[in-house]
Amino acid sequence: MRRTTLACLAAAALAGLALLPPAARAGDSCEDKPLELQSVVKGMDLALRTSRALDESGAQIAFIARAGQDLSKYGLRYSHMALVWRDQERSRWLVVHELNDCGSATSGLFNEGLGNFFLDDMFLYEAQLVIPGRDAQARLARVLSTSTPRRLHHSGYNMLSYAYSTRYQNSNQWVLESYAAASAEPGQVETRTEAQAWLKQAGFRPITVEIPAMTRLGARMFRANVAFDDHPYERRMAGLIDTVTVDSVVRFIKAQDKEARTITIR
């Protein structure tokens, strides 16, 4: 598929997405405080370097991850993943992703500039790109040209949603389920249930995060965007939370697509 075709397909599907409201965030500290000038400069510099890396990659659609909060105690580096696509007409890169309305249990899909993606209060000014093979990019473009990504979005947000439940959804889960729709035979994945069935058959394995009972209790009582009632009872009581993380998505994409490659921007 030609580059212009890929860009037009994505543009047609994403043009109607809402503009990013200031309070919508995912994978960052979500604190209500103004950004310092230094943070803005660092974020825009990272966006510029990421844009250059995308240009040099030759991709038209890719996956992008940021480190919005410190997850090192769980052995994780990146907190939030999105799809990034090239708007050929305006010669710029745009990011489409699910964002949580801070402090609430809801989310929406948004299409924003690459600069905005890094304007949150980042933990690390670092990004990771996953560049799919050409065939995978073409399939992603076809899916983005349909209403499937909207159908796969669920507004009930849970930062630690169970990988194989449709009760909630986190931002990385929307990316993963959209990838499932693109990877499956056309028309096979149109709902979240179908996406998760395909992922299970394809061998996706979530990353298990160990969270003690008191930590779970505190999170559930004081954070509306964290829940545990979608997780299997026995594993939940053992503090084993199987959720969709950036690491698990990257690992799965690279297992499915042997042409996929990663680029780290520091």
CA distances to 16, 31, 35, 137 from 130, rounded to whole Å, are 25, 28, 28, 11
Half-sphere exposure of 186 (CA within 13 A, CB side): 8
In three-state form (DSSP H/G/I as H, E/B as E, the rest C), the secondary structure along 64-113 is EEEEECCCHHHCCCCCEEEEEEEECCCCEEEEEEEEEECCCCEEEEEEEE
Domain of residue 215, residue span: 3-265
- Does pLDDT of 68 surpass 70? yes
Question: What interhelical angle do 134-144 and 3-14 show, nearest 10?
Answer: 30
What average pLDDT is seen over the chain?
88
> What token pair was written down for 3?
């580059």
> What token pair was written down for 242?
């199987």
Confidence at residue 34, expressed as pLDDT on a 0 to 100 scale: 66
CA distance 28 to 41: 17
CA angle 263, 257, 53 (to 5 degrees): 20
Residue given tokens 């990353």 in the structure block: 207
Confidence at residue 27, expressed as pLDDT on a 0 to 100 scale: 44
> What token pair was written down for 116?
């905005």
Beta bridge mates, 87: 92
> What token pair was written down for 34?
């103004």
What's the pLDDT tens digit per position in 145-174?
A: 999 999 999 999 999 999 999 999 999 999
What distance lies between CA 34 and its chain's CA centroid? 24
213 falls in which pLDDT band (50, 70, 90)?
confident
What's the total number of domains in the chain?
Answer: 1
Three-class DSSP category at 51: helix
CA distance 92 to 187: 30
Confidence at residue 30, expressed as pLDDT on a 0 to 100 scale: 54
118 falls in which pLDDT band (50, 70, 90)?
very high
